[in-house]
A and B are shown apart, each in its own frame.
Chain A
């Protein structure tokens, strides 16, 4: 067992964990933050995407011990002061989700994408979401949701 100190959505946690515990399982099973999902076991689907120190990472490919000392944001921590993030709003406005299972990871990846490229073309959005699979929407409305958020963030900026 190893002790980890991890800040999740602004709150600090300290736990004894097995060295092999995946970060995604730490978030889901230890902290009970089940918004981060597990859709595969080969790092393909992106449902588990969170931000570690501000960068989108697939939390199924990281051990909890590797995240020791880092600041993590999950989907539960994306809205600020009860205000939806423009991407959350965009996914709602543009029907960017159906079953919702890919959605947290999609939104976290898209947030990273927009940070790096606030003005992405359709092509760049599609490439930027390369690491995230959605089986329901055919991506059409996910692209529109990201475009909506990009627009909105431009106005707000």
Chain B
């Protein structure tokens, strides 16, 4: 593959905290002295519309956008939005999918349809009810992204350690949120 950078695509719907997640991951990569480029979207899509953000890190990153077929990791905070990550997938791409659905107006897809579609590209799919676990165990839904990140690290799906993420959480979030986020990071391992 031409590209040696690590490429993450995060998809979901506006209001799910994608940008906070982006900040934590890029800070962790930054602390390792890596070059980073990210791209995020603001505005109308933040009102519950489909959103996608990109994080790329490595020795030298040019474009802030992940080229098609070049994602190493796709985090989908809503399962239908996992399809938004599909064009970035190749046979080695890992998908971590939140088994949670918000209604689309018009056509929708079942989890099985989504997974079958993704399997055309890769078999490395991990689907869990991250949101309901967070709600049940932590009484909080905002940290679902961090829980998914912790899970992805357990699965060795990205070249960052939990220690590095914890450091980044402490640097990017106010102290009152640390405990909750650290719990979320360790919450789901299997």
Asked if A and B bind, the verdict is: no
| Chain A positions near chain B (C-beta within 8 angstroms) | none
| Chain B positions near chain A (C-beta within 8 angstroms) | none
